[in-house]
Structure 1
Amino acid sequence: MHLNSAAPTADTPLVPTGKKPGRWRYWTGGMVLSLLLLVGIAVAFLDPWLRRMLEKQVAEQSQGRYQLRIGELHTSLWSRAMRIQNIELRPAKNNQLWQQTTLPRLLATIEEVRISGVGLGALLRGTLVPIDTVRVAGLRLRALQLPKANPNAKPLHEQLPARIPGLRIGYVSVLNVRAAYGSGRVPQTSVRRASFTAQDVLLSAAGATDTLRLGYASSFGVQVSGALGTVAEHRLRVGAVRYSSQRQQLTVDSLRVWSLRAMEQPGPVVRVRLALPHLRLTGLSAQALRRREVRLDSVSVVKPWLAATPPTQPPPALHHVLASYLRHVAVAHLRVSGGTLRLLGIRAKPQVQDIRLGADDMLVTAAGATDASRIWYARSWELRTGRVQTAVSAPVYWLGLQGTELITRTGVLRATGITLRPTMTPTALARYKRHQTPHITVRAPVLAVTGLDFGALTRRGALLARQVEVRNVRVLIAGDGRFPLNPKFSMVTQESLAKLPVRLNVRRVVLANSSIGTSYIGPKTQREGSITFNRINATLTNLTNDPRLMTAAAPLVGQASGWLQNSWNVRIAVRIPLLDPAGAHSGEGTFGPGSITLLNTMTEPTRLARFESGTVRRATVRFTGNRQQITGTMRAEYSDLKLALLSQAGGPDQKTLLTKVGSTLLNGIVIRDQNPRGLGPDKLKLGSMQSRRDQRVSVFSLWRQGLVSGLLNSIGAPQKLAQTISEQP
């Protein structure tokens, strides 16, 4: 065996001498080059093929209703990206194709679409395809026609190619969107600019059922500016809208709404004009919206200006309206600042300025509406306003308030700077009404209601309060006796309180340091007389029409004190069982001391009678009244009483020869110049109060009739004559 001949040396070549290198290297290189060449060719033809395929798919899937045109399409397998530019989607002009279809009829152009980070391996394997980003810029959309909702429409993830189970996109943005809806020259709805972003979009069956997502996205944001639309015969314009699902906050800036119909007359639905500078909602969860629920942390409304015309029929309750769209609506805190409200289409036309409103723990559902611990869906409300004005018994009276305050938690209601004034003179008012009617002017610095049961007020329409207090009220009441009496029964009676359609229960009413001035034009003299009551303090207890509380043993009790003409002290107490079917009531009062000449400001111009002298030391009355009459007695202690009859045709002192003779006879024969005469109680003449009741006049007029009849009878006038004079209007 020769080892040297078999083993190669260091100089021996690895390839036998005279032979070429192995061809497998060339084959490998050639295959790589060929593959690269094929890939290059494929890439070169991929973009045109994809563009044609997309255009063809749109035409086939829409059954010829749409034509898609793509200006440029570029793919990069190396960077796993695609860029598409100048996309146009056009509807077919054949109207018959759009008669029965579930597709919207729209025009769309897109400047650019960029897709990056496509999972090619997953795409080839037919698994969930990951995509890093999808960016759409310059979308212009015009919807010409929207079809009816298709209950059989497939969700978006089921419209993907069959071999692709879903897409997972890290970030989606649609920027610089302009959209419009409507086939007319002026679109019904339009958006000047909008943007949309979404994170972690899972376009699959799992994403569709994920309760933590909305529209397949885990979070998203929307920005809209310059939106304009028409809804329910109202035009809407929105300056800007922003929503972030991560921050759960929605803001609306510069919202304006105006009715397309005139607002002077009411219609079947409410009509509004609204200017809302700023609205912010926090806690608006996209996941809750998916469940048709809204649970807001706060709603803030800044300086809203609202004019509304109420509908002819009362609208349904708010929770009934919302129930069609949402199963549950809750708001932790509602705040409105600087609001203005005007109601049109009604005669009162109230206006409220500087509204500051707050509500806590609102539940706008059927359960919230019936919850006994809630008022107007909320646990508590606070309302404060600036100037309030409205017509009362329009167009007769105008009511103005400088401010109001309402706090349901403590049962407080306050009104400040109260003014009630007629819009016409006493004579014009009587002419407008065609009968005598009070012409009332009221000014009050403050009206305060405490212990008000807002729950009873809102749920049962019952007015229940612990106390109503009014201080420093100034009241002027004017009348014109030249017109006939009102043919209807007066409403200023105890019977009217008993017949109120609402339950009334006010434990205490306080009137402090107030005054009442009255004036009256005599029907024969056509001259105006006046009299004033000053420094009035009055208290009413048990003001109620509740049969359990209002009985003969527990009637309405009233006590009042004041000064006649600021000089003559007056005290009165009344007991009125409001539910007595006969209208029975009783009272007593004391007057004096003072000069009876204080009455001349009323008796001279209206009755042509002047008290020349007379000093009343004390007068006491006790009376009972009902629906037919008033009866009672008057004990008047006076001295040096002289009365003069007057004539309108007289001289400066309004006396003629006839009236002078009549006055002499009256003072000498009829009138007792002093009472009592002489010594002893038997010398005091009691005056009989007798006067029939005319239910066309108020209960206060009935009391005045009794005082007049008792006074005249006590000074010497026969009872029948005193009664006749007292019953004259």
Structure 2
Amino acid sequence: MKKALLIGGGILIALAIGLFFYLKNRKLTDFNPLIREKLQSLVLKGSDSLYRLTFDTLIADVIDSRLTVTKIVLTPDTTVLQKMRNTGNAPKDIFKVSLDSLVVDGLNIADFTSNKNVDLNVLHVRQPSVEVFHAKTPKQDSADRLKLSTLRIRIAKQMNHLAINKVQILDMNVQLHTLSNDTVQKTSKFRNVNFLLDDVLIDSVAAIDSTRFMYSKQALISLQDLKFRTKDSLYLIGLDSITINASEKNVLISNFYIKPNGTNKAFRNKLKFIKERYTGQFKTVELKQISWWSIASSDYFRADEVHMNNGSLEVYTDRSLPPFPRSKVGNFPHQLLMKSPFPINLKRLKVTNFDLSYQEFNPKTDEKGEVSFKDINGTLENITNDPQLIAQNNIMKLDASAKPMGEGKLDAIFKFYLDKAKDGIFSVDAFLHPMDGRAFDKATRPLGMFGVEKATIKGMDVHVDGTNYNGRGTVVLKYDDLQIAALKQDGDKLKKRGFLSFIANSFVLIPSNPEKNTPVRKASAYYRRDVHKSFFSIIWKTILIGIMKTVGFDSGVKKVK
């Protein structure tokens, strides 16, 4: 009996060793046709016959629980695609995918070849190439979009579930082609894209699980060195890197920038009319608590906060060009928000440590004037174009502070009335703290042909109500010791006009407000907008008229255009 057991045990051990070496050496060659058929069937059925999967070799190793597939290509069937288009069921995005190899660890061959469950450990893909063809189609409502099942949902219907502990997609290159009438209108390229996904589950429940991103509980997606040109080729927009932490619902962008192509002169030569030139950057832009499900299911952008930190924006205008011929009515901040092609609900936009400068070239003086605001910190709240949310709160509010000309302090509150955006209704309340008025000299000399030789600003209160066509408000400017220098062009320099300066300071301008034993002067202001000029021109010129009236320069009000 004992001998029989030893013989039987020896035979079993021999059979096990033989089976091990057979499986190890054959690499499950006998199973390859079954696995190949299963993979191709999943793709074919899951895409309603739209996509075809081909590959060169498939090596399945049951001992190491590993599957390696090489030279994989996923392509759409053009005949099936045309039939889908004819019936209106074609997806807006068509894909072409190729990769040298795909490695799967933790493969259970029995589960995979059956039609039940697939549970994997790691799916590793390196350097894939993906082409996306995006067709511009009429906007669909959310109900219609939900009816269009994605490839992943259709694949999920072919089995009970597909679970993967970890997915690694490294160094992916993506080309996004935007189509119009089947013709490529624009191509954007994304290089070195990385996907790290944990706890991926594809089944009927996960397909509608709002806590998952791309079917994963945790996802980290990164892109580097992203660049693209604007449609008019005037600007290059880019960023150093973008990292999406889907599990925390956050996005971090590093060094976002916009740069004009060429110098001021080169930019000017591309224009027929006056147009502002922008140069800007932010060290970091962080989006917090993004609702991925709202974006994926219904093209609805929803987030709690966007925080833009350590940035600057330079705006340059060359007044030697002809005026812009078309009206700019309809381009106020809240009006642009209403023009968005999809609903937006952003609770808060924060800007910290931001510098803004406006430069204007005056051909009459052949010089550039500059108005700057340093160290801007502000919060814009209730950024939405959703009618239901606007009915609950109709005001988009900006509360900000800054250092005008790098000195003093300016506090301002902007209110944009979202329910009256068509008429451009807004208001501004601002307070300028005490500062040396000579700081404005570098703006008034080239732009206004006068210098500020002396002025002590004790404070300024401003209120402006604006519409598409006018600004109306009040200005209370408190100051002492106002003294200016009237200027004239002398060759390539500005020269003081002594007599005119004397007349202005002695007989025209009021040196202080309030004057001794008199109440503080309060000036009302009205400005009818030049529709070819910007939103900020209404605010600035309404305030300027109030300042002119306060200092006694009433004759200059008519020249404000």
TM-score w.r.t. the length of structure 2 is 0.76
Map of 1:615 onto structure 2 = 456
Map of 1:640 onto structure 2 = 481
Q: How does 1:352-363 map to 2 (within 5 A)?
A: 352-353=191-192, 355-363=194-202
Q: How does 1:163-562 map to 2 (within 5 A)?
A: 197-198=29-30, 238=56, 241-244=58-61, 249-253=66-70, 274-276=98-100, 278-280=102-104, 282-283=106-107, 285=109, 288-291=112-115, 295-298=118-121, 300-306=123-129, 308=131, 310-312=133-135, 318-319=150-151, 326=158, 330-343=162-175, 345=177, 347=186, 349-353=188-192, 355-363=194-202, 369-393=207-231, 395-481=233-319, 482-485=321-324, 487-489=326-328, 491-522=331-362, 524-550=364-390, 555-562=395-402
| Counterpart-to-counterpart distance in 2, 1:355 and 1:620 | 52
Map of 2:536 onto structure 1 = 700
Q: How does 1:18-57 map to 2 (within 5 A)?
A: none
| Counterpart-to-counterpart distance in 2, 1:597 and 1:374 | 58
CA contact (8 A) 1:420 1:442 kept: yes
1:558 partner amino acid: L
2:191 partner amino acid: V
1:280 to 1:553, Cα distance in 2 relative to 1, 3 A:
closer
CA contact (8 A) 1:526 1:606 kept: no
CA contact (8 A) 1:274 1:304 kept: no
Structure 1 residue 497: Cα displacement: 1.5
Residue 716 in structure 1 maps to residue 559 in structure 2: no
1:330 to 1:394, Cα distance in 2 relative to 1, 3 A:
farther
1:344 to 1:433, Cα distance in 2 relative to 1, 3 A:
farther
Residue of structure 1 aligned with 2:524, choices 688, 703, 708: 688
2:58 partner amino acid: V
Structure 1 residue 254: Cα displacement: 6.4
Map of 1:145 onto structure 2 = none
1:529 to 1:394, Cα distance in 2 relative to 1, 3 A:
same
**Aligned-residue CA RMSD in angstroms?**
4.2
1:507 to 1:526, Cα distance in 2 relative to 1, 3 A:
same
Q: Deviation string for 1:383-440 (max 9, x for gaps)?
A: 2334333334452222332222222322211112222222233454455353333322
Structure 1 residue 534: Cα displacement: 0.9
1:320 to 1:354, Cα distance in 2 relative to 1, 3 A:
closer
Residue of structure 2 aligned with 1:674, choices 512, 520, 538: 512
Structure 1 residue 480: Cα displacement: 1.9
| Counterpart-to-counterpart distance in 1, 2:531 and 2:524 | 22
Unaligned runs of 5+ in 2: 1-18, 39-49, 77-91, 138-144, 179-185
1:696 to 1:382, Cα distance in 2 relative to 1, 3 A:
farther
1:252 to 1:492, Cα distance in 2 relative to 1, 3 A:
farther
SS state of the match for residue 290, structure 2?
coil
Q: Deviation string for 1:216-247 (max 9, x for gaps)?
A: x9xx9xxxxxxxxxxx9999885x53124676
Structure 1 residue 288: Cα displacement: 4.3
1:338 to 1:544, Cα distance in 2 relative to 1, 3 A:
same
Structure 1 residue 572: Cα displacement: 0.9
CA contact (8 A) 1:525 1:607 kept: no
| Counterpart-to-counterpart distance in 1, 2:220 and 2:127 | 17
Structure 1 residue 649: Cα displacement: 3.3
TM-score w.r.t. the length of structure 1 is 0.60
Structure 1 residue 321: Cα displacement: 9.3
1:466 to 1:323, Cα distance in 2 relative to 1, 3 A:
closer
Residue 568 in structure 1 maps to residue 408 in structure 2: yes
Q: Deviation string for 1:49-69 (max 9, x for gaps)?
A: xxxxxxxxxxxxxxxxxxxxx
Structure 1 residue 570: Cα displacement: 1.0
Unaligned runs of 5+ in 1: 1-169, 177-193, 200-212, 221-231, 260-267
1:438 partner amino acid: E
| Counterpart-to-counterpart distance in 2, 1:495 and 1:709 | 26
1:486 to 1:578, Cα distance in 2 relative to 1, 3 A:
farther
Map of 2:433 onto structure 1 = 592
2:404 partner amino acid: L
1:469 partner amino acid: H
Structure 1 residue 302: Cα displacement: 3.9
Give the paired residue count. 499
Structure 1 residue 697: Cα displacement: 3.7
Structure 1 residue 653: Cα displacement: 4.4
Q: How does 1:81-96 map to 2 (within 5 A)?
A: none
Structure 1 residue 270: Cα displacement: 5.4
Residue of structure 1 aligned with 2:470, choices 625, 629, 632: 629
Structure 1 residue 453: Cα displacement: 1.3
1:311 to 1:638, Cα distance in 2 relative to 1, 3 A:
closer
| Counterpart-to-counterpart distance in 1, 2:268 and 2:493 | 31
SS state of the match for residue 442, structure 2?
helix
CA contact (8 A) 1:173 1:198 kept: no
SS state of the match for residue 477, structure 1?
strand
Q: How does 1:7-156 map to 2 (within 5 A)?
A: none
CA contact (8 A) 2:239 2:255 kept: yes
1:526 to 1:305, Cα distance in 2 relative to 1, 3 A:
farther
| Counterpart-to-counterpart distance in 2, 1:297 and 1:498 | 46
| Counterpart-to-counterpart distance in 2, 1:643 and 1:632 | 26
Structure 1 residue 621: Cα displacement: 0.8
2:239 partner amino acid: L
Structure 1 residue 712: Cα displacement: 1.6
1:454 to 1:583, Cα distance in 2 relative to 1, 3 A:
same
